[in-house]
């Protein structure tokens, strides 16, 4: 992991260093006629007068000390500050979208394979492929047009509604982080309940645990926002942020779910030919159990593998989505800093997007190992 990240940083740095750009000229608003003295001063200030190897060493040590330089476009603000503010917003968008679209895609693919040969199949597959290959910025803007302009249901863009926040006693990030942690806690508890209920000895106890636990967690989640003091005060603002989150998540889900759907379908079809499915049917198990317990479980494996490959794609999609929706996350900062030629910010944002991809990759790998017991004994090769 660390080695991979180091390599990634090195490649990024050398890529940007090797490319024919004049960062000094860019700082002087593209004026090529800079006096030589001023140029020298600028070079020294940016540390560009030293040899590349020393520059590289400086960059690396600074990076791991958390110093990514100062942004040109938001001048005295250090890059790391901007990133610290933006990173959680991207992570939330990314996680929510990832969970929704995997869930939706897997479900759709499962039914598509099970009902193979029905009339709707071609239609669903074609529209799935269409969504998968759609021109994303255009599609996102069309969704805005449909839902915000024509139907006037959802907000146009942005992270929050400034008018509502004018008298807010909280900073946006404070509310946002609170939302984030409450939701994460609730989901973790929910997962734990699900896990425990699946392993309960008595079937009846398991069902009770599942329903009771689920209702309790949801009640706790609602109760937090309505019952407790900080929750009550922040509720309106949190609701505003959640309201702004709907359309970006929807876009990402719609665009990405078809890939999962097609993959699940073909892996399901493969599984359904296996003998153990025939056995399960012969035993007289209900179709639903055969489908969900026997076929879908096995078909999940290749889909989980694709998770590792999908991380980069979803991050790319996130960059576009954030830009179109003016969602103030890493992707938007990346694009805007590139358009303003703010190199330190661009490199910083890109490195952290890389970190995000790396962690996502790692988690997906672990998840795969968890799902498939064979992975743990098989050697790499």
Partner 1 sequence: MAEKLETASEVDQGPQTVGGIGGIGGGDGVAGVGGGTAAGGGAAGPVVTSYGSWWRIRLSLLRRSVHDNWVIFRRNRMGIAGLVIIGFWMLMAVMPSLFFATGFWNRAVYDPVTGLETDPPTRTVIMVERVTDPRTEIDRRAVLMDGRIPSDLGLGDTFELPLQPAPPNSRHWLGTDPLGRDVLSQLMHGARSSFFLGILAATVTVVIATLVGSVAAYYGGVIDSLLMRLADLLIMIPGLALLIVIGSVVTFQLWHLAMVIGILSGFGGTAVVLKSQALAVKVKPFVDAARVAGGTGRHIVLYHLIPSVMPLSVLYMMFTVTAAIQSEAVLSFLGLLNVDTSWGLMIQLAHTQGYLLQAGEFWWLVFPAGLAVTLLAMAFFLLGRGLDEVINPRLRRR
CA angle, 375 then 314 then 109, to 5°: 65
Instruction: Give the integer Cα–Cα distance in Å for 122 and 102.
Output: 21
Q: Pattern of binders to partner 1 over 313-332, x per CB under 8 A?
A: x-xx--xx--x-------x-
Let me know: does 345 contact 70? Beta carbons within 8 Å: no
For residue 317, the minimal CB distance to partner 1 (Å) is 8
For residue 61, the minimal CB distance to partner 1 (Å) is 22
Q: Does 278 bind partner 1 (CB under 8 A)?
A: no
Q: Which of 28, 63, 132, 165 is the binder for partner 1 (CB under 8 A)? A: 132
User: Which CA distances in Å does 363 have to 183, 273, 305?
Assistant: 19, 31, 11
Q: Buried b vs exposed e over 317-337: b needs ≥16 C-beta within 10 Å?
A: bbbbbbbbbebbbbbbbbbbb
Let me know: does 233 contact 169? Beta carbons within 8 Å: yes
Q: Which of 15, 177, 192, 367 is the binder for partner 1 (CB under 8 A)? A: 15
Q: Does 295 bind partner 1 (CB under 8 A)?
A: no
Instruction: Using the minimum distance from each CB to partner 1, give the nearer residue, 216 or 357.
Output: 357
Number of residues that bind partner 1 (CB under 8 A): 56
- Tell me which residues in 48-67 interact with partner 1 (CB under 8 A): none
Q: Is 371 exposed, middle or buried, given 0-12, 13-18 or 19+ CB atoms closer than 10 A? A: middle
For residue 8, the minimal CB distance to partner 1 (Å) is 6
Q: Which of 144, 252, 260, 304 is the binder for partner 1 (CB under 8 A)? A: 144
Q: Which of 92, 124, 311, 333 is the binder for partner 1 (CB under 8 A)? A: 311
Stretch that binds partner 1, among 43-51, 83-91, 123-131, 367-375 (CB under 8 A): 123-131
The candidate with the shortest Cα–Cα distance to 28, out of 19, 37, 20, is: 37
Let me know: does 70 contact 78? Beta carbons within 8 Å: yes
Instruction: Using the minimum distance from each CB to partner 1, give the nearer residue, 14 or 211.
Output: 14
What tokens appear for 43 in the block?
A: 């070079």
Instruction: Give the integer Cα–Cα distance in Å for 341 and 297.
Output: 49
Q: Residue 160 contacts by C-beta under 8 Å, 6 or more apart in sequence? A: 172, 237, 240, 241, 244
- Tell me which residues in 234-263 interact with partner 1 (CB under 8 A): none
Instruction: Using the minimum distance from each CB to partner 1, give the nearer residue, 102 or 350.
Output: 350
Q: Does 270 bind partner 1 (CB under 8 A)?
A: yes
Instruction: Using the minimum distance from each CB to partner 1, give the nearer residue, 234 or 364.
Output: 364
Stretch that binds partner 1, among 49-57, 197-205, 275-283, 335-343 (CB under 8 A): 335-343
Instruction: Give the integer Cα–Cα distance in Å for 173 and 307.
Output: 29
For residue 130, the minimal CB distance to partner 1 (Å) is 6
What tokens appear for 109 in the block?
A: 């693919």
Instruction: Give the integer Cα–Cα distance in Å for 261 and 111.
Output: 10
Q: Pattern of binders to partner 1 over 338-367, x per CB under 8 A?
A: xx-x-x--xx--x--xx--xx--x------
DSSP of 4-58: HHHHHHHHHHHHHHHS---HHHHHTTT-S---HHHHHHHHHHHTTTS-HHHHHHH
Q: What are phi and psi of 320, to 5 degrees?
A: -65, -45
For residue 169, the minimal CB distance to partner 1 (Å) is 34
Q: Which of 42, 60, 134, 285 is the binder for partner 1 (CB under 8 A)? A: 134
Q: What are phi and psi of 38, to 5 degrees?
A: -60, -40
Stretch that binds partner 1, among 63-71, 142-150, 187-195, 219-227 (CB under 8 A): 142-150
Q: Pattern of binders to partner 1 over 173-192, x per CB under 8 A?
A: --------------------
Residues forming a β-bridge with 70: 78
Instruction: Using the minimum distance from each CB to partner 1, give the nearer residue, 135 or 211.
Output: 135
What tokens appear for 302 in the block?
A: 């290749």
Contacting residues toward partner 1, per CB under 8 A = 4, 7-8, 11-12, 15-16, 19-21, 122, 125-126, 129-130, 132-139, 141-142, 144-145, 149-150, 266, 270, 309, 311-313, 315-316, 319-320, 323, 331, 334-335, 337-339, 341, 343, 346-347, 350, 353-354, 357-358, 361
């Amino acid at each position: 992991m660390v080695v991979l990240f180091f390599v990634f940083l090195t490649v990024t740095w050398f890529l940007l260093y090797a490319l024919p750009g004049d960062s000094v000229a860019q700082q002087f608003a593209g004026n090529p006629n800079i006096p030589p003295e001023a140029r020298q001063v600028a070079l020294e200030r940016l540390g560009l007068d030293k040899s590349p190897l020393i520059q590289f060493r400086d960059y690396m040590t600074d990076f791991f000390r958390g110093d990514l330089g100062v942004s040109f476009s938001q001048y005295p603000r250090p890059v790391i500050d901007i990133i610290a503010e933006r990173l959680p917003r991207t992570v939330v968008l990314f996680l929510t979208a990832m969970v929704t679209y995997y869930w939706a895609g897997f479900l759709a693919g499962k039914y598509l394979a099970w009902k193979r040969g029905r009339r709707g199949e071609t239609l669903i597959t074609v529209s799935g492929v269409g969504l998968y290959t759609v021109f994303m910025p255009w599609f996102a803007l069309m969704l805005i047009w449909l839902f915000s302009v024509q139907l006037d249901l959802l907000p146009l863009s942005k992270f929050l509604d400034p008018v509502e926040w004018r008298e807010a006693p909280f900073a946006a990030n404070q509310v946002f982080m609170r939302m984030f942690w409450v939701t994460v806690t609730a989901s973790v508890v929910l997962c734990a309940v699900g896990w425990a209920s699946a392993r309960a000895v008595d079937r009846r106890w398991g069902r009770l645990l599942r329903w009771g636990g689920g209702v309790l967690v949801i009640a706790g989640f609602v109760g937090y926002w309505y019952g407790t003091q900080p929750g009550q005060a922040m509720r309106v603002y949190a609701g505003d942020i959640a309201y702004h989150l709907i359309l970006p998540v929807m876009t990402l889900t719609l665009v990405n779910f078809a890939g999962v759907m097609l993959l699940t379908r073909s892996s399901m079809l493969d599984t359904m030919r296996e003998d153990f499915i025939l056995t399960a049917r012969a035993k007289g198990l209900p179709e639903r159990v055969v489908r969900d317990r026997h076929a879908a479980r096995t078909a999940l494996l290749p889909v989980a593998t694709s998770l590792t490959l999908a991380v980069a794609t979803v991050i790319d999609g996130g960059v576009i989505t954030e830009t179109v929706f003016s969602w103030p996350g890493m992707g938007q900062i990346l694009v805007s800093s590139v358009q303003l030629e703010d190199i330190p910010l661009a490199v910083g944002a890109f490195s952290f997007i890389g970190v995000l991809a790396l962690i996502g990759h790692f988690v997906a790998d672990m998840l795969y190992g968890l799902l498939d017991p064979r992975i743990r004994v098989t050697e790499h090769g």
